[in-house]
Amino acid sequence: MRLMYRNIVVNIDPGTLVILIGLPAMYLVFFGYGFQSLVPASSGSSYLRYLTPGIMAFQSVMAGTVGGSLLWADRRYGMLAQLLVGPFTRLQYLLGIMFTSVVFGLTGAFVMMIGAYALLGSLSLTATGLAIMYGTIVLGSIFFGSLMLLLSALVKSNNAYNSIQILLIFVVNFASTVFYPYSDSLPLPIRALFEINPLTYVANAVRGGFAGALTTADLVGEAVLCVEMVVALFLATRAYMRSNVSFE
Amino acid sequence: MQAGSASSEPVVRAESLRHTYDGKAYALDGVSFDIRKGEVFGILGKNGAGKSTLIKAMTTLIRPTSGGLTILGLDPARDGQRIRERIGVVQQGESFDFTTVQGNLDIYGVLWGIPKQERVRRREDLIRRFELEPIRKQRSFDLSGGQKRRVQVAREMMHDMDVLFLDEPTVGLDVIMRRELLDSIKKEVRQGLTVVFTTHNLEEADYICDRVAVIDHGKVLVLDTVDNLKSLYGGKKTIEVTVAGSADAFFEALKGRLGTEDSLKAEGSSGVVLTSDPKRTLQLLLELAHETGAQLDWLNVRKNTLEDVFIDSVSRSTE
């Protein structure tokens, strides 16, 4: 808890919040209204309603970047060594980062939901739907937190870390069902990316929760997500526990 | 301050400690010493001597390859967290959170579980003692080198501890602030704190340390009280010499003709000779200048300092 408090306090500066909340909020507003014009008015469909759960799911990626950046900054600016000679174990530090990611994921998703309510005027959500949505965001935040931790444990250069992170966010975001549905008309490599991308499963399940019920495909997707999360968490923990901690 | 170990039991005990990072070279090679409760123990050594590895081992960041190590009577391999709850560490490099000076002190207090009221009291006391008031609202990364060191040391004082490890704490501090910092450490020591202190600055080791260990190539070369070390060399004098022309030949010849008890540390055109017979050595310097064609630019004979002890032990170990 103490580590989580510290992680949150050092991450709630205005610049970080703009990136964590402002960027997805801008997606919601600009894409929500921009792409609505492509949907025929006669269809009665709302792209914003489609996009909202996608953007909520995307918050799990943003939450993951918080975790990765924390480890990266702590390693680079000496706080990791300082904390590990304090009253904490390596595992506690890792858990602190994971819980922080989850808190940011849940908070970001909640803010997006409030934003969508303001834009749409109404949301019809059930308790089960909310539980599915936020439970899935927890899984997604742990997955992407692990992925970014793995990255920050393995990559040594600041430029490489930032470049890989930006590339990952782009690929994960746009090769998923956050902004548009999966389609058989997509080229094969992109379809393959959609299918292995955990964000697809997060977005589908959150969308299912948004609608009030999960389909069989969503349930299978949740299971795949759980497996991917466990693998990512295992790899990240192993890489982090084996990494060298230096005073210099 | 928590209840420390029994006074008879050392706070730190290292026995034949060895550590290797690559399985070939040993960063620590058979280090043994005891650190007693309430003393300031200095670890002196040049870069790469093994000081940081030793500090890492004592602060549980690395597990030594072999040998015995206990901190506060506890085994770091088994009781790492219990040890860390009772030690403080000021790193050589900077380590801050992205917040203000006051924020860094506050967060550290939270991390150490200090209740809010006590946290605020300690924070304000430290801000006053370390003269941080003018910079309390500044972001730590925007501070000068000296200010950062003050904040790091002050921050460590937010929590109770039995042993404080200070890795080059005065780097970047001006003379007055350095002395004030050393005095504040002395004050803590009088209240029962044990301090392990690494430094390059031998004057400050002389000022603050009760005992010092000089280490090089992972081995302890000498270990004694500062007074004993200086008296060991009490019969000796230090001669500083600077020559122009043929310096290499001059110092090479000098090295070969010094007595077995004497030592030479030469670099470029300057050399420092630690000698038990200054009169004879001066004579020798003049003879060699004549023989090698070197010109004696400057000669100075003075009493020994801790620095001479350090130079002598390290140069003997590399011979």
In a domain, A156, yes or no: yes
Q: Please give the average per-residue pLDDT across B280-287, as a whole number.
A: 89
Question: Do the bridges between strand B26-35 and strand B194-199 make them parallel or antiparallel, or are there none, so unpaired?
Answer: unpaired
Q: Rounded to whole angstroms, how far apart are CA atoms B188 and B118?
A: 18
Q: Please give the average per-residue pLDDT across B34-39, as a whole number.
A: 90
- pLDDT > 70? residue B59: yes
| Domain with A156 in it | 2-35+45-242
- pLDDT > 60? residue B1: no
Which chain A residues touch B91 with a CB distance below 8 Å? Answer: 78, 81-82, 247
**What confidence score (pLDDT) does residue B142 get?**
85
Residue B4: pLDDT band (50, 70, 90) is very low
CA distance B9 to chain A (A): 23
**Nearest Cβ partner for A86 among B92, B98, B111:** B111
In a domain, A40, yes or no: no
Q: Please give the average per-residue pLDDT across B103-126, as a whole number.
A: 92
**Nearest Cα to Cα of residue B71 among B164, B138, B139:** B164
**Nearest Cβ partner for B95 among A6, A82, A89:** A82
| Low-confidence residues of chain A: pLDDT under 70 | 39-45, 244-248
More confident residue, B138 or B305: B138
Q: Nearest residue on chain A to B85, judged by CA atoms?
A: A87
In a domain, A248, yes or no: no
- Assess B96–A contact: CB distance below 8 Å, yes or no: yes
In a domain, A247, yes or no: no
Domains and CATH numbers, chain B: 12-230 (3.40.50.300), 235-303 (3.30.70.270)
- Which of A70, A72, A74, A85 to mutate to test binding with chain B, by most B CBs within 10 Å of its CB? A85
Longest CA span, chain A = 64
Q: Rounded to whole angstroms, how far apart are CA atoms B26 and B54?
A: 12
**What confidence score (pLDDT) does residue B87 get?**
93
Q: Among B62-71, B92-101, B142-151, B299-308, which range has the highest average pLDDT? A: B62-71
Tokens of A212: 């009030």
**Nearest Cβ partner for A78 among B85, B91, B99:** B91
- pLDDT > 50? residue B6: no
- pLDDT > 70? residue B319: no
- pLDDT > 70? residue B235: no
- Assess B111–A contact: CB distance below 8 Å, yes or no: yes
- Assess B20–A contact: CB distance below 8 Å, yes or no: no
**Nearest Cα to Cα of residue B181 among B170, B165, B195, B193:** B170
Q: Do A79 and B96 touch (CB under 8 A)?
A: yes
Which chain A residues touch B50 with a CB distance below 8 Å? Answer: none
Q: How many CA atoms lie within 13 A of B71 on its CB side?
A: 30
- Is residue A209 within 8 A of residue A137, CB to CB? The reply is no
Report in angstroms the alpha-carbon separations of A137 from A106, A116, A125, A222. 7, 17, 16, 11
- pLDDT > 60? residue B7: no
**What confidence score (pLDDT) does residue B248 get?**
87
For B53-57, which contacts have Cβ atoms below 8 Å and span 24 or more sequence positions? B53/B19, B53/B27, B53/B28, B53/B218, B54/B14, B54/B17, B54/B28, B54/B215, B55/A247, B55/B89, B55/B165, B55/B167, B55/B196, B55/B198, B56/A247, B57/B14, B57/B17, B57/B19, B57/B28
In a domain, A7, yes or no: yes
CA distance B95 to chain A (A): 4
Q: Do A247 and B52 touch (CB under 8 A)?
A: yes
Contacting B residues, span 119-148, partner chain A, CB-CB under 8 Å = 141
**What confidence score (pLDDT) does residue B2 get?**
41
Number of domains composing chain A: 1
Q: Rounded to whole angstroms, how far apart are CA atoms A18 and A144?
A: 20
Give B157-207 pLDDT, tens digit per residue. Answer: 899 899 999 888 887 777 777 887 888 788 778 878 899 988 877 778 888
Q: Please give the average per-residue pLDDT across B27-53, as a whole number.
A: 88
CA distance A47 to chain B (A): 39
**What confidence score (pLDDT) does residue B186 get?**
82
Sign of torsion, CA A61 A62 A67 A71? positive
**Nearest Cβ partner for B99 among A10, A78, A86:** A10
- Is residue B208 within 8 A of residue B40, CB to CB? The reply is yes
**What confidence score (pLDDT) does residue B201 get?**
75
